Amino acid sequence: MEVSIESSWKAQLVDEFEQPYFHELTSFVKQEYTQNTCYPKGKDIFSAFDHCAFHETKVVIIGQDPYHGPNQANGLCFSVKDGIPHPPSLVNIFKEIKVDMQKAYPESGNLERWADQGVLLLNATLTVRAHEAGSHQKKGWEQFTDAVIKTVSSELEGVVFLLWGGFAKKKSSLIDKSKHHILTSGHPSPLSANRGLWFGNQHFSKTNSLLVQMGKEPIDW
């Protein structure tokens, strides 16, 4: 079936789009967007891929669900549109970067600037009903995004995977550890961060060190 996604990803995932589960998922999502308010906007569902071509992927960050409040989700995990207040997890990400990388706290929470440098900001579930967290889970998105992770693992080399929190850490079983780097920590949400499981993980400087060791350009976080 025809899916509007960046061409290099389409080439890698073409078989996935023909699977029965993906046809069912597409029907479900179309119906949800017709009958309910859902996020992100339809044109932004595959935005994480559109900003980060397959062979340019250097880092993968795995989230769970899009934000379910008005005008927040833009198709990239942890990211919000320009001018939108930063959600608590994003605040803690920026606080860690400020200390780890000695960078000023940014005005915009739009992480397209990371994606454009080769950071795939992948939510496990790519859509959600307004104000109903988890409402589109277990409808097929997880099977699709697991296939994305497996494809990155099998077809690329030297990708740095950042797995934050218990949900993301479970994805490590999909990654070939002989070819790639995995950094894990607690989730940046206040619940985890305030228990000392997030701050000080230095994932941003560690990622850049790994990239430089592999002869790749570091990320301007």
Q: How far apart are CA 156 and CA 38, in angstroms?
A: 33
Options 44, 65, 146, 220, the catalytic residue? 65
Token output for 155: 């077809």
Contacts of 63 (CB under 8 A, 6+ apart): 77, 78, 121, 122, 123, 124, 168
Peptide bond connecting 66 to the previous residue in cis, omega within 30 degrees of 0: no
Q: How far apart are CA 200 and CA 192, in angstroms?
A: 13
The SS3 assignment for 128 reads strand
Q: Which residues of 60-92 are buried (b: 16+ CB within 10 A; e: fewer)?
A: bbbbbbbbbeeebbbbbbbbbbeebebbebbbb
Q: Is 176 a catalytic residue?
A: no
Catalytic residues: 65
